[in-house]
Amino acid sequence: MILRVFEKGDEDAVVDVLRASIKYCYSRDYSWCSEKSLQNWLKNKTPENILSWMSAPELAHVIALTEDKIIGVGMINVETGHLGICYVHPDFMGCGVGRAILICLEEFAVQSNCAKIHFTSSIGAQAFYEKWGAKVVGEEEGMSGEAMNPLMEKQLR
């Protein structure tokens, strides 16, 4: 596996990873929610939005590849410490890809003097983030109002 920064031209493959991961997690963790919930989660995952997010100067990002195929993506706001994206294609979950992405993003945050990383987790990813050292600090209603998601943070200093 190789980690590198996002490059123009990656956006379609990144969208594919995001959408595959979200659909997988939704079927595993939120199957009791409506189809509208899933569509709300997916609606802003477009190539245009990816290009916009990846070009914002306050956002640091990393792409995970294997054999020239994008298998994971992460993004953090280095001004606020907000972890906006950490997704891995379902075929590569449990192989260390997500952890490698988080370690890289954490380094970006440390270099930018962030005191903590904070984010909203999906229900099923909570244990993954806890293994990384994050703690639940609250909960947030999901976009459709059908589920509560853990608010998490990891102290850096």
Residue-wise pLDDT for 96-154, tens only, equals: 999 999 999 999 999 999 999 999 998 889 999 999 999 999 988 765 565 678 999 99
Range of the domain at 12: 2-113
Region 46-58: what's the mean pLDDT?
90
Read out DSSP for 52-65?
A: HHHH-TTEEEEEEE
Q: Tell me the residue length of the chain.
A: 157
Q: What is the CATH number of the domain that holds 71?
A: 3.40.630.30
In a domain, 130, yes or no: no
**pTM, to two decimals:** 0.89
In a domain, 48, yes or no: yes
Q: How many domains in the chain?
A: 1
> pLDDT by residue (tens digit) across 72-95?
999 999 999 999 999 999 999 999
In a domain, 63, yes or no: yes
In a domain, 13, yes or no: yes
| Residues β-bridged to residue 116 | 155
3-state helix vs strand vs coil in the chain, percent to 5 = 40, 30, 30
